[in-house]
Amino acid sequence: MGNWIPPESETLMFNIDGSARGSPGFAGIGGVLCDQSGKVFCSFSLSVVWQEAVAVEILAIAKACDLCASKPQLKDRKIVISSDCLVAVSWINSADIGNFNLLNLIYGIRNLLCTLGQTSVQFSSRVSNSYADLLAKRGADGDRDVITWEV
């Protein structure tokens, strides 16, 4: 997984990424949920409707939140959703919305984060997100949509 930086012990890391072929353009989102040893619990690669780059990152964060919320066994786990888009992370974590068109999606993510309790969104460098980037590019290229669970 490239220069992936593992999470702390007892924490799961959901590396996510979005890829837009132009802005706006064909787009995809991808992510991989791993523990500190690199064991994969979930991965996804999905095509999304033509989107601008930051919107695609927000969609990837939303999908990771939805997937975490869909598994009761993850409810009490500490999960870090890691994005290489500082703008998207700041819109999720601050009072500033940044983009009115994404208002409902951002508030939806914030509500899910409250429900999930120990789940947070943080910025990480692009080099540590290489596998999520590959999955997002597959989605942008129109490869078939895939969500895989290993738990």
What are 75-120's pLDDT values in tens digits? 889 999 999 999 999 999 987 777 788 889 999 999 999 999 899 9
CATH classification number, 11-149, choose in 3.40.50.1100, 3.30.420.10, 1.10.490.10, 3.30.70.240:
3.30.420.10
- Domain ranges, ordered by start, for the chain: 11-149
pTM attached to this predicted model: 0.92
Q: What is the DSSP letter of 6?
A: P
Q: What percent of the chain has pLDDT over 70?
A: 96
Concatenated DSSP letters of 5-29 = -PPPTTEEEEEEEEEEEETTEEEEE
6-20 residue pLDDT tens: 888 899 999 999 998
